[in-house]
Structure 1
């Protein structure tokens, strides 16, 4: 019969075994993400669609929602005018006729008269999400079935559209044998043009750990995992979605529907009740239509502006709180996937099982982890991190890792988020409502974060990412 001491030894042995298995699994995921990034992003061939006759390629409507003078706005928007693709239009959406972004758009339309581009002013309030409200009219007005929804803080390489359409309509033989590809998306790659600490930390996070996990999860493709900065999909598919994430009959046809018809609850309008509408549309395609997604070999070049460290922290708090109400298990386990917490778990487990000192495990762990992250950066950027930036980048990377667990502790206990100066309360399944009342937490969040971020679409990114 076991005494208490034997039972304690057996329990610690089991925990150590589980710890080593978990550590090995996370390393396997990281290496798969690293190798997949090498394979996918280090060679970006020109799409044959780029030089095809206009009438032989499917048309694409590029939807760009705008609000104010975002960082790098001129260059970001100009990148859509210079796409190497023969058949597309651009629809710029603004809610206010006095929006400052309109001056930039009009200048670009005059500079590129050969590109079909249109400004759509005015929003329709279909939910709490201001981006969806801004896009509703452009979504309905688009001349083509294929839509490319592109955030205003994203710059795309000239070949992105051609390669993305190619991935949508001509999947690889391996993909073609499986379920239909209904969405093509792009991993964010951040670049900093402001010397703020928060901007540097965000850059280090998006270009290493986030990208590595995002690419790995999409390589396994066991579940939807999509960031909404740059997504390409068919409106005819989106019009069948209602955001329930459950298979259902198609919506009533336009011929038989009335103004009060349930058809109003399908398509883009159905996602106005979510803040992370991009992730929900992707998940709805996956679960309601039983179709799949594909990463193209391009990145969404994300211009990070004047982000303070406080901005970064509250952005991550918001992200975690959104995800907590959508993918609770992954959110609870998140600290165990981070570099520092994982290294402590692994070093204790390995010492318990093999007697190797904890300090030795840590000494090996951190250089290898950093090396993998830097390799992912090189794959996405197309070049190694410049040597003159190495020290600064690694400092921001280390600060991000040290902040990860404290940020998670703050985020996991709350349900309110601040976005564009407004406070929202997260509900189950990712839906939100405006937080009413002037409670202490609401006013504190607004003071710390909301007051200096007005006038910009600040993405929530991907709620389902581990």
Structure 2
């Protein structure tokens, strides 16, 4: 009876995971295969809500000219473009200046800022432009993202969508990343296979169910007036709202590494607003990514999620293709014997078909025959790497980003980390509460006067 009960629970889980996969696939078909032109694309500036587009820049990202040019060519009559760098000698400036000369009719300018409001370099980069922005609606768009000309208009439509009875107002519009790379490095192929299939499928499914905030900040649209009311405390706002000496607005999120996710969560939990996915994608230019780069990028964000949402991170391996198939086979074998192994080829063929269908929905076209073999090879390798990467991520509590190492704390905040072995840091994480109490006791004793 115990074995049968466990087997039925395992099969129930298998069914739940397949339901999520199919939901992501169907939602992708419905949302991304038709991208209608917005009326705002041809509206005069007096009728189009003003938008300030903020693009943080640091060096020469892959496809930088085309990425930035896609902001200049938006079919929208009332926007300004603020291109943010942290110094006069940034390598991105010549590219920016060339585009400013090419599109003199666009209201665009460079904002140079190196103000230190936290450990997050992206927030430090954006803070001056955030304050100088002329409009309340902000579109924060990473430098490695290209967007279609109609993206801004459709995104403003989604942000200003009329509220239906029983529904919550939209406070943030975001776009699912769709990766592309002109350089056929192993890491780039793995990143494409991950972002364009498994990640997109789960991301779309979770945002379709919309039981909680789930946002990746490659391309986010929200209102500054609402961001000024939150600070990442993630408790329902009450007036007057306690700021805990953190302040409000963008600067308050400089203490987080995943500021995009925290801003979205703050709007959701503190103001009771909801998010919406536009029917556009954020075309993510990967560039030359090595195998090691891919692994440590995945490790970094798993470690961030581990601290911010431990339960979901612990469950993550049991949503992956290979582990789920082994669960199904084990449970079916307990119930029906060796015939259970017949499910494996069916499982893998259907899983690949669903992932490729998601890819086609996001891309707007099927996977090209010339890329099919390389893409499927990378897809298979990505599936086999998923569990080892997760284990590696769970054995540490520091991350490296833009040449610096950070320690992540339980609040989601980060601080500069000293060099150390990730495994020892993992054990320290388990004893952190005890250590903090002991440190406080020692400080109290040292503060007492000698007699």
* From 307, 313, 326, the counterpart of 1:331: 313
* From 280, 288, 313, the counterpart of 2:270: 288
Q: Contact 1:97–1:122 at 8 Å: present in 2 too?
A: no
Name 2:229's counterpart in structure 1: 240
| 2:25 matches 1:34 | yes
What's the offset of the Cα at 1:264?
A: 6.4
What's the offset of the Cα at 1:12?
A: 1.9
Match runs of 1:44-193 below 5 Å: 44-171=35-162, 177-193=166-182
Name 1:301's counterpart in structure 2: 283
* From 331, 349, 368, the counterpart of 1:367: 349
Alpha-carbon separation, structure 1, partners of 2:151 and 2:407? 36
TM-score, length of structure 1 as denominator length: 0.88
Deviations 1:263-298 (A, max 9, x none): 861000110000000000000000000010000100
What's the offset of the Cα at 1:176?
A: 6.1
Q: Contact 1:347–1:357 at 8 Å: present in 2 too?
A: no
What's the offset of the Cα at 1:441?
A: 4.8
Alpha-carbon separation, structure 1, partners of 2:330 and 2:401? 40
TM-score, length of structure 2 as denominator length: 0.91
Deviations 1:354-374 (A, max 9, x none): 336242111110000000000
Q: Contact 2:113–2:126 at 8 Å: present in 1 too?
A: no
RMSD: 1.5
Name 2:428's counterpart in structure 1: none
* From 372, 388, 393, the counterpart of 1:406: 388
SS state at 1:385 partner: coil
Alpha-carbon separation, structure 1, partners of 2:75 and 2:409? 42
Unmatched segments (≥5 aa) in structure 1 = 1-9, 253-260, 443-466
Alpha-carbon separation, structure 2, partners of 1:184 and 1:236? 15
Change (3 A) 1:363 1:264: closer
What's the offset of the Cα at 1:353?
A: 2.2
Name 2:212's counterpart in structure 1: 223
What's the offset of the Cα at 1:118?
A: 1.1
Name 1:196's counterpart in structure 2: 185
| 2:440 matches 1:439 | no
What's the offset of the Cα at 1:388?
A: 1.6
Alpha-carbon separation, structure 2, partners of 1:154 and 1:251? 38
SS state at 1:357 partner: helix
Change (3 A) 1:440 1:30: closer
Q: Which moved more, 1:79-88 or 1:423-432?
A: 423-432
Name 1:209's counterpart in structure 2: 198
Q: Contact 2:231–2:246 at 8 Å: present in 1 too?
A: no
What's the offset of the Cα at 1:440?
A: 4.5
